[in-house]
Amino acid sequence: MASQKNQQPISQPQSLPTRPFTFKLKSSVFYLSSILILILAISFSLTKKNFLKTQHLKYTFSLHPTLFQTLFRFLHPVKKPIQTKEPDPISIPPNYVLWMAPFLSGGGYSSEAWSYILALYEQNKNCSFRMAIEHHGDLESLEFWEGLPKYMKNLATELYHTECSMKEIIVVCHSEPGAWNPPLFATLPCPPIAYENFKSVIGRTMFETDRVSLEHVKRCNQMDYVWVPTEFHVSTFTKSGVDPSKVVKIVQPVDVKFFDPVEYEPFNPASIGKLVMGKTTNNSKFVFISIFKWEYRKGWDVLLKSYLEEFMEADGVALYLLTNPYHSDRDFSNKMVDFVKKSGIKKPVTGWPPVYVIDTHIAQSDLPRVYKAADSFVLPSRGEGWGRPLVEAMAMSLPVIATNWSGPTEYMTEENSYPLLVDRMSEVMEGPFRGHLWAEPSVTKLRVLMRHVMNNVDESKAKGRKAREDMITKFAPEIVADIVSKHVQNIVKKMDP
């Protein structure tokens, strides 16, 4: 869930004066916030090496002018001549899609945005619109950028420097609505200036609860369209008050060529995994893996309780948790040990089954090898917008166990996975979505499914193969790119009759 915790609220920016110019546009708020970041970095004595590397990332990606040049140009703008002559029809530029998303953050919106950009770039080379991108909505991650394959870095740089006229731009604001113009926290607003200056403005977002908050409903309704990934979201958004005529289902693509099990050798997770419980073993008969950011919504407590109550050391299983902090510290091992003590889970006579945590950064290029090392993927979350690790695991032919509620209901079936029953709905107790409802997955049913997958290898492998087939036929990049392209072309036709 997109949390606004630790995000700095800012006053609502005023619309900049409209005048002819070509994109890339940067708001004054964005540049002034850069000064604030510099001051804070010095004030809190951040490591000089890391700070300089992060700045190098920003300037390598964007090739910004110097701070002095930026401030000078802002304070003393150069007026551009207004074009009065009608351009020759042959020279009329194509329409542009400016995709604004947290491309450098490495989070859920980041990976989703990349999946669209890669799909569209390949599909639309000869199409009627060109692509441009802009980082927006979250902080940059140096680790994520350095872990990207070279072709993605090159593409990011190329699309960032695409220049286009405002009148020809369709803006996609791919982030949680709090980042949309005017933003509720410090970020480059999307769209960068007043909505009416662009051909069309689209919001791409999702939520993991049973509803959309009133503030976000208002922000969705100021968009021309709101793209959501599933039928679940079409229902929750419209029931919450978002104009049904604006809501469009656009499913997510999964790169089935990149996530292809035949292309990789398995990664050895024990080589970097930290043992939390049980004894170290390199000869586990069956390996479960889960990938998530560390937050209550992801149901790590449900997974740990089910696993430890169902298995013991003699079963020859292992559980690997690949996780990263989310508004928390990295002390995952002690958090899990404390949870086990407070839960009263009894240690088996033959000892705990091993539990490992992997909290080091795994480069995107190595991620398929992590999936390849597992026999099953499991994620009993309380709510998902889409669930990218789930579709990635399914593309890798893994049998998946996941909660049968919210986003995953769009692609999980009894034939291609193991949908986990929900015991009840529970209230969100903290954060900006307090009072909403989400699912409480069944601990008992999860125990049964994990044991069943381990004891029925042939069946589980068959479901994994079916999962990959469904990813290829329904969510492959070329299929989703065609859906997006047709919707963009329909917008253009409506705007340019």
Counting Cβ atoms within 10 Å, is residue 421 exposed (0-12), middle (13-18) or buried (19+)? middle
**31, 238 contact by CB (below 8 A):** no
Could you count the other beta carbons within 10 Å of the beta carbon of residue 419? 19
What per-residue confidence (pLDDT) applies to 12?
Answer: 38
**Has domain 261-475 been given CATH number 1.10.1740.10?**
no
Q: Which pTM value belongs to this model?
A: 0.83
Position 57 scores a pLDDT of 55
b/e 452-482 (16+ beta carbons within 10 angstroms → b): ebbeeeeebbebbebbbebbeeebbbebbbe
Looking at residue 327, its pLDDT comes to 64
Residue carrying the six token digits 């949870």? 339
CA atoms within 13 A of residue 347's CA, in its CB half-sphere? 9
Those residues whose C-beta lies under 8 Å from the C-beta of residue 203, and which sit 6 or more positions away, are: 173, 177, 180, 219, 220, 223, 225, 226, 227
**Homologous superfamily of the 92-253+478-495 domain (CATH):** Glycogen Phosphorylase B; (3.40.50.2000)
Q: What are the structural domain ranges in the chain?
A: 24-76, 92-253+478-495, 261-475
Maximum alpha-carbon separation in the chain: 86
Q: Tens digit of pLDDT per residue, the chain (497 long)?
A: 444 434 444 433 333 333 333 445 444 444 444 444 433 443 433 344 444 454 555 555 544 433 333 333 333 344 333 333 344 444 445 789 999 999 999 888 999 999 999 999 988 765 678 899 999 999 888 888 888 989 999 999 999 988 877 778 999 999 999 999 999 999 999 999 999 999 999 999 999 999 999 999 999 999 999 999 999 999 999 999 999 999 999 999 999 999 999 999 999 988 889 999 999 877 789 999 999 999 999 999 999 999 999 999 999 999 999 998 766 678 899 999 999 999 999 999 999 999 999 998 898 899 999 999 999 999 999 999 999 999 999 999 999 999 999 999 999 999 999 999 999 999 999 988 999 999 999 999 999 999 999 999 999 999 999 999 999 999 999 999 999 999 999 998 888 76
Residue 304 phi, psi (nearest 5): -65, -45
Equal CATH topology for 92-253+478-495 and 261-475: yes
